């Protein structure tokens, strides 16, 4: 029986267009099970570094009789997956620093994957940089709102790409992403509110400057 996913996981699932998938850091296993239950994926290898997390995925898969289609494996990052073993690697719900480290480590070990779907909780810029450095080209770069929080959603496939610093920071399709200006104005307002209430931070000031420059570039393109 298909399960309901929240907006974030549903948006991730919608980017899967068939084939085999590795869901790294699967935790509850909802995405892995949903993908096979709805025929979005032919099979899923669901992994996690924590046996306790993995048990939740195992229970969900067993309860629904999907054990033939979801292979559950314990391990750190992409270590339980062979090079090229799946068509798509999904990593969601982890920090951008962890995700970028997982991608870079696998590449340094000689592993190659055709495509990635990534949704970092933080630091999407680190994820974009890591993808570029392992020869992946971003072909989807947006954000999804779930329970009042925005999550980056990035998909890539093999290819070369050179992004500007602003595109790395705010998104590969910064200039054509109609929602970017709305998100940027909102963040700018938030930062200005903090600064007005006396919060002093070089990091915030730098972020505000970058947002303003990106907004200017966006507007000049339209």
Report the interface residues with ligand SAM, using CB under 6 A.
9, 24-27, 47-50, 53, 76-77, 92-94, 98, 102
CA atoms within 13 A on the CB side of 49: 9
Q: Cα–Cα distance between 176 and 164 in angstroms, integer?
A: 14
Q: How far is the CB of 66 from ligand SAM (least distance, A)?
A: 17
Q: Cα–Cα distance between 104 and 172 in angstroms, integer?
A: 19
Q: How far is the CB of 212 from ligand SAM (least distance, A)?
A: 32
| Closest CA relative to residue 64, chosen from 87, 84, 37, 91 | 37
Q: How far is the CB of 147 from ligand SAM (least distance, A)?
A: 12
C-beta of 100 vs 115, nearer to ligand SAM: 100
Q: How far is the CB of 4 from ligand SAM (least distance, A)?
A: 13
Q: Cα–Cα distance between 66 and 89 in angstroms, integer?
A: 20
C-beta of 19 vs 95, nearer to ligand SAM: 95
Tell me which residue has its CB nearest to ligand SAM: 93
C-beta of 107 vs 175, nearer to ligand SAM: 107
Q: How far is the CB of 150 from ligand SAM (least distance, A)?
A: 15
C-beta of 13 vs 163, nearer to ligand SAM: 13
**24, 66, 174, 178 from 59: Cα distances, Å:** 17, 10, 41, 41
C-beta of 69 vs 98, nearer to ligand SAM: 98
Cβ 152 vs Cβ 143: under 8 Å: yes
Q: Cα–Cα distance between 2 and 31 in angstroms, integer?
A: 10
């Amino acid at each position: 029986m298909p399960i309901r996913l929240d907006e974030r996981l549903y948006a991730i699932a919608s980017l899967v267009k068939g084939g085999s998938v590795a869901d790294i850091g699967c935790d509850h296993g909802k995405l892995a099970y949903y993908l096979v239950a709805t025929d979005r994926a032919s099979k899923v290898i669901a992994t996690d570094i924590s046996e306790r997390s993995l048990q939740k995925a195992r229970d969900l898969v067993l309860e629904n009789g999907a054990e033939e289609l979801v292979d559950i494996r314990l391990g750190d990052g992409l270590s339980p997956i062979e090079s090229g073993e799946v068509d798509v690697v999904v990593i969601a719900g982890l920090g951008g620093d962890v995700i970028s480290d997982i991608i870079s480590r696998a590449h340094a070990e000689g592993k190659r994957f055709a495509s990635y779907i990534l949704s970092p909780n933080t630091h999407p810029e680190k994820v974009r940089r890591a993808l570029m450095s392992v020869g992946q080209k971003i072909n989807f770069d947006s954000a999804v709102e779930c329970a009042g929080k925005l999550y980056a959603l990035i998909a890539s496939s093999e290819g070369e790409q050179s992004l500007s610093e602003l595109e790395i920071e705010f998104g590969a399709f910064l200039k054509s992403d109609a929602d970017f200006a709305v998100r940027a104005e909102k963040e700018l307002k938030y930062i200005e509110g903090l600064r007005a209430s006396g919060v002093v931070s070089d990091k915030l000031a730098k972020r505000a400057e970058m947002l303003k420059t990106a907004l200017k570039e966006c507007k000049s393109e339209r």
